[in-house]
Amino acid sequence: MTALPAELSDLIKAGPLVHLATINPDGSPQVSVIWIGIDGDQLVSGHLGRAVKVRNIERDPRVVLSFDTPREPGIFNTPYAVLRARATVAPSDQAWDLLDQLTKIYMSPDTEFPVPKRPGYIVRYAIERIGGMGPWA
Judged by the rule CB under 8 A, the positions of this chain that interact with its own copies are: 15-17, 19, 21-23, 27-33, 60, 62-64, 66, 68, 70-71, 73-74, 76, 78, 80, 82, 84, 107-108, 111, 114, 132-133
State the nearest-atom distance from the C-beta of 26 to its own copies, in Å. Answer: 8
State the nearest-atom distance from the C-beta of 32 to its own copies, in Å. Answer: 7
State the nearest-atom distance from the C-beta of 77 to its own copies, in Å. Answer: 9
Report the alpha-carbon distance of residue 37 to residue 9 in Å, rounded.
10
Burial classification of residue 93, based on how many CB atoms lie within 10 Å of its CB (0-12 exposed, 13-18 middle, 19 or more buried): exposed
Residue among 84 and 117 whose Cβ is closer to its own copies: 84
The SS3 assignment for 132 reads: strand
Largest CA distance in the chain: 46
